[in-house]
Amino acid sequence: MAVGLTYQDVVFTQDGAQTAVVDASMAAESLPRRVSDFHGYSFNVTWTGAPSGSLTLRLCNASVSLDKLVPPAAWVTIPALTLTIGGSSGATSPSLIEMTFGRAGWVSLLWTPSGGSGSLGVKFDGVRR
């Protein structure tokens, strides 16, 4: 059986536009990504400047086709999968959010700024079944 590796930019929606690098002083939400056919995956997070805030991984198991949006009520946030950036206890760039146990159908990232400025980018790295 062949193993497929995927390494791609995560695309965010911010201020009505889609982008792979966000202004870290403004909130942003990534486009939903179907992950039900991945063994494991991770998000490699990098930033410049001095942003502070939290990047939260949200999971969804709703049965949704690729041409429809995942309804907001279907997302589940797991506090242990939140990366805190900036401040005295924040992570340093680059950082990693890794999922080796998840069985979600869909994932999305939510950036919530709390101060500072800079840019933020995320790469998805996954291994297909």
Separation between Cα atoms, residue 90 and residue 116, nearest integer Å:
13
Q: What is the pTM of this model?
A: 0.84
pLDDT tens digit string along 34-50? 888 888 888 999 998 88
Please tell me the predicted confidence (pLDDT) of residue 119. Answer: 92
Measured between alpha carbons, how far apart are the two ends of the chain, in Å?
9
Which domains are present in the chain?
5-62+73-128 (2.60.120.1110)
Residues 22, 117: contact at Cβ < 8 Å? no
For residue 77, pLDDT over 50 is answered with: yes
pLDDT, averaged across the chain: 83
CA distance 43 to 125: 6
Residues 6 or more apart whose CB falls under 8 angstroms from that of 27 comprise 14, 110, 111, 112, 113
Q: How many CB atoms lie within 10 A of CB 16?
A: 5
Which pLDDT belongs to residue 101? 61
Distance CA 79, CA 57 (A): 9
CA 117 to chain centre: 19
